[in-house]
Structure 1
Amino acid sequence: MKIAQYGTAIAVLHAIANGLHGLAHIQIPVALSLLQISFVGIVIFLTPIIAAVLLWTQFYRIGSWLLVSSIAGSLLFGIYNHFIVISPDHVSQVAFTGWGMLFQVTAILILIVDGFGCWVGIWALKTTTQQQQVL
């Protein structure tokens, strides 16, 4: 039960942080490629929601895998696009005023939430593996 609660909390925080970041992307604007849009839509937004739902069902192990893989994918995507490759999506290229402030704050918030989310996902996988071994 705790796994489902923590996993759902991470999925909700992840969705809020990414939703606010996406709003800043639109308002600034910082455009994404079609491939990036697809990744964001499927891996960053849809998959954690599906994972959270599955955590409350008999398919909680699949939910745990989806949670850790999607959040890890989001973490790597954010690190690469916001902090490594210099592009309009890099935090150094967006002014820290107006919507740019929201952009930069949420880029960092996403790192924190996704880092914690990876930890929760790994914990969920370890816990479900231990439960299976007991059975």
Structure 2
Amino acid sequence: MKVAQYGTTIVVIHAIAHGLHGLAHEQIPVPLSLFQAVFVGVVILLAPIIAAVLLWTQFYRIGSWLLLYSMAVSIMFGIYNHYIVISPDHVSHVSFVGWGLLFQVTAILTLIVDGLACWISISALKAVPQNEKVL
């Protein structure tokens, strides 16, 4: 199934991009609050993996919805923390030198990848009628 392949591929790219961004967070350091750390762990890292697994099962639509929601919320979280709220996590407070360059690049890259994941999810939901089973 092509959608499962595309969905899984984008989840792997998402994990790499967010993993690199997390590495930059640690190295700079730009610490996360407890709430942010739990949010990142559950919504940004775990939910897309569960969604990718579901794309390969009879729960394909649930996987597509979970991928869409987790990616959309990930985009909102990234925009809010990197571009709206003024904090050490705001891109204007992180240098373009050393690990800061990785932070800056991945702050944008994660938005692009997660946007593409939303598009893949929407395409998947449009591709299969609601009452049709996909195996």
| TM-score range normalised by the length of the shorter chain | over 0.9
| Structure 1: runs of 5+ lacking an equivalent | none
Q: How far apart in 2 are the matches of 1:4 and 1:124?
A: 9
Q: How far apart in 2 are the matches of 1:75 and 1:8?
A: 18
Task: Count residues in correspondence.
Answer: 133
Alignment deviations for residues 31-78 of structure 1 (CA, whole Å, 9 cap, x no partner): 111110011000000000010011011111111011000011101100
Q: TM-score, normalised by structure 2?
A: 0.94
Q: How far apart in 2 are the matches of 1:2 and 1:64?
A: 13
Give the drift of 1:86: 1.1
1:80 counterpart letter in structure 2? Y
Write the mapping of 1:4-83 to structure 2, written as runs, cut at 5 A: 4-83=4-83
2:94 counterpart letter in structure 1? V
Q: How far apart in 2 are the matches of 1:64 and 1:74?
A: 15
Give the drift of 1:125: 1.2
2:81 counterpart letter in structure 1? N
Runs of 4+ in 1 over 6 A off after TM superposition: none
Equivalent position SS for 2:128: helix
| Structure 2: runs of 5+ lacking an equivalent | none
Q: TM-score, normalised by structure 1?
A: 0.94
2:108 counterpart letter in structure 1? I
Q: How far apart in 2 are the matches of 1:69 and 1:119?
A: 11
